[in-house]
């Protein structure tokens, strides 16, 4: 595979992501909204918990 084909494919992927994000803009997950559709302060600003743990030797 030539470099020009690889570059063209990569550019196509970037354009595809941009177009999908433009047509379907990101939204706040419904679990973080209250009954009126507004973001809840206690959940929206809360830090996210990670499940992965790093083991140190």
Task: Provide the pLDDT for residue 53.
Answer: 63
Which whole number is the average pLDDT over 45-50?
Answer: 57
pTM listed for this prediction: 0.49
Phi-psi sector, 37: left (phi>0), alpha (psi -120 to 50), beta: left
Contacts 24+ apart (CB under 8 A), 26-29: none
Report the range out of 30-34, 41-45, 49-53 with the highest average pLDDT.
30-34
Task: Provide the pLDDT for residue 27.
Answer: 79
39 with 32: CB under 8 angstroms?
yes
Task: Provide the pLDDT for residue 19.
Answer: 96
């Amino acid at each position: 595979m030539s470099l020009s084909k690889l570059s063209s494919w990569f550019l196509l992927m970037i354009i595809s992501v941009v177009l999908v994000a433009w047509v379907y803009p990101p939204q706040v997950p419904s679990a973080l909204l209250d009954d009126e559709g507004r973001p809840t302060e206690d959940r929206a600003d809360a830090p996210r918990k990670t499940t992965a743990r790093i083991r140190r030797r």
